[in-house]
Structure 1
Amino acid sequence: MIRVTCAIIRNEDNEILIVQRGEKTDHPFKWEFPGGKLRKRETEEECIIREIREELSMEVIICSKSEPVVHDYGHKKIRLIPFLCDTLDELPVLSEHEDFKWIPAETLGSVDFCEADIIVASRYLGMTGNKPAAKNRESETEQSETVDKDLQKMINNMMSMQEAEWVAASAGENPVLFQKLLDYSYSPDRKLAFRASWTLSKVCDKYPELIYPHLEKITEELNGIDNESTQRSFLRILSLTDLQKISERHHGILAEHCFKALNSGFSAIAIKAYSMEIIYKLALIYPGLANELAITINMLQGEVSAAGIVARGRIIMKRIAEISKS
């Protein structure tokens, strides 16, 4: 029997995170609670923390452990150990799954889950007193009095990558919508700021030139942004853009911020990864940064166990070696 852990992850709005399996998996396009198999000499708690970091680059806090679910799929039999977890991270970085959604707990009953996860969801609903929603239930939001409020509501209610990409495509063709996303990214409303900045990063994937006039302001605001999810989106934008578009002074601000994030024991894995990429790009402009980055990565690899950041560090170390040769 295969021992597997999974996490019912709640955000600040008590929404539940679900992830979709890929086409080439044994349950293609089915939804599930994130998690994975136990390794040798690993506790169940250590396993779920590691799996969420590796699969989603998220940090979670374990609140409780539920009764295991034993299920026979025919080709394999599993013992699924569910954990109820909380997180302040809003944006998973998918490394194995096709998609993700944050959904209200009462809608878990209408999700096309893998069979074992159906049992986990049903038990969770019974434990919390939520009643499963009917599959044909309509969930339309009331129309707001102003376009601005409508847009904010739409962004706050986005629950999947496809929805974000649809808004991003619209913003790429609509300067007013693009500016709104940028403005909302600085909002004190943490959820709105995160989802707007996340969508903004999707706009920049397709239309990088739109963000060029705003790069210096984003750089200047980084140190003052206490919303880690928004900061992660901004760092992603900067890691993918042409840093020659900002001034030498802003290069200095950015390098200082990113080294600080790399050396901090409190920075999320994704923030460290994007910071690493940004400093590498700056090292292409200022080769003197390469040695400092190499030292930082070596220290980081000795302290961080997340596979994603270690692998990224190794790749960048190879690139740094090429800079040194030239």
Structure 2
Amino acid sequence: MQLREEILKEHSKAHSLSIARWIGNNPARLDQLVQLFLFDEYRVVQRAAWIMSLVAEAHPLLLKPHLPAMVDRMGDDNIPVAVKRNVVRVLQHMDIPEDLQGPVMNYCFRFLEDPAETVAVRAFSMTVLARLAKQYPDIKQEIVLLIEDQLREGATAGFISRGKRTLKELGKIKG
């Protein structure tokens, strides 16, 4: 399969699932997808992002070797929102290696505090930070303040729901 061409053929859930099944647990096929996801044109990146999130749900450990490049890409100024959103989405469900925890924390705090950031990126960042707060309880109060501040300023229903759930979770962390 010519992955790039296949990605461009159609944009549907059925097609994305089909490609994700083709990738399966195959590291070489995932390597191709990650390269497209991180560095191709916007339309390819956007479609590859959806497929990558499907692969990550089924085979999270398969993505582990790609985490440094994915986290690195989050620091690019011109990062497509699809890349940012899906990297943070994937990170919510993974154990983040210790050497990446600092950069991930920095990016997620930056995304969460930016009112111009998309709701999805801020919500996923909230979850990643809450998970990291279990290891680093010192960050708990900063997360709580950011969420409470944004809830006061008016947020979408999705952000409010995620914010309340995250605040409840953070209340259980000793810090």
When normalised by structure 2's length, the TM-score is 0.93
Alignment of 1:231 with 2:84, yes or no, is yes
Alignment of 1:295 with 2:140, yes or no, is no
Equivalent residue number for residue 112 of structure 1 = none
Equivalent residue number for residue 263 of structure 1 = 113
CA distance in 1, matches of 2:83, 2:8: 14
Structure 2 portions without partners, runs of 5+: none
Alignment of 1:240 with 2:90, yes or no, is no
Where relative contact order (Cα < 8 A, 6+ residues apart) is larger, the structure is 2
CA distance in 2, matches of 1:165, 1:304: 36
Equivalent residue number for residue 131 of structure 2 = 281
Task: Give 1:151 deviation, angstroms.
Answer: 2.1
CA distance in 2, matches of 1:156, 1:317: 40
Equivalent residue number for residue 63 of structure 2 = 211
Q: What percentage of aligned pairs have identical amino acids?
A: 25
**Deviation digits for residues 166-219 of structure 1, max 9, x if unmatched?**
211221233322111011012240111121122111101001110111212211
Change (3 A) 1:163 1:304: farther
Equivalent residue number for residue 184 of structure 1 = 36
Task: Note if contact 1:262-1:300 (Cα within 8 Å) is conserved in structure 2.
Answer: no
CA distance in 2, matches of 1:188, 1:306: 31
Corresponding residue SS for 1:288: helix
Tell me the C-alpha RMSD between the 2 structures: 1.5
CA distance in 2, matches of 1:188, 1:175: 19
Equivalent residue number for residue 175 of structure 1 = 27
Equivalent residue number for residue 27 of structure 1 = none
CA distance in 1, matches of 2:40, 2:58: 27
**Deviation digits for residues 50-108 of structure 1, max 9, x if unmatched?**
xxxxxxxxxxxxxxxxxxxxxxxxxxxxxxxxxxxxxxxxxxxxxxxxxxxxxxxxxxx
Which of 166, 170, 194 is the aligned partner of 2:46? 194
Give the number of aligned pairs.
174
CA distance in 1, matches of 2:45, 2:84: 10
Task: Note if contact 1:255-1:279 (Cα within 8 Å) is conserved in structure 2.
Answer: yes
CA distance in 2, matches of 1:234, 1:157: 24
Task: Note if contact 2:111-2:117 (Cα within 8 Å) is conserved in structure 1.
Answer: yes
Task: Give 1:255 deviation, angstroms.
Answer: 0.8
Residue identity opposite 1:156 in structure 2: L
Which structure dedicates a bigger proportion of its chain to helix? 2
**Deviation digits for residues 192-249 of structure 1, max 9, x if unmatched?**
1121122111101001110111212211221115201121111111111112xx124x
**Match runs of 1:144-183 below 5 Å:** 150-183=2-35
Equivalent residue number for residue 308 of structure 1 = 158
Which structure dedicates a bigger proportion of its chain to strand? 1
Task: Note if contact 2:19-2:51 (Cα within 8 Å) is conserved in structure 1.
Answer: yes
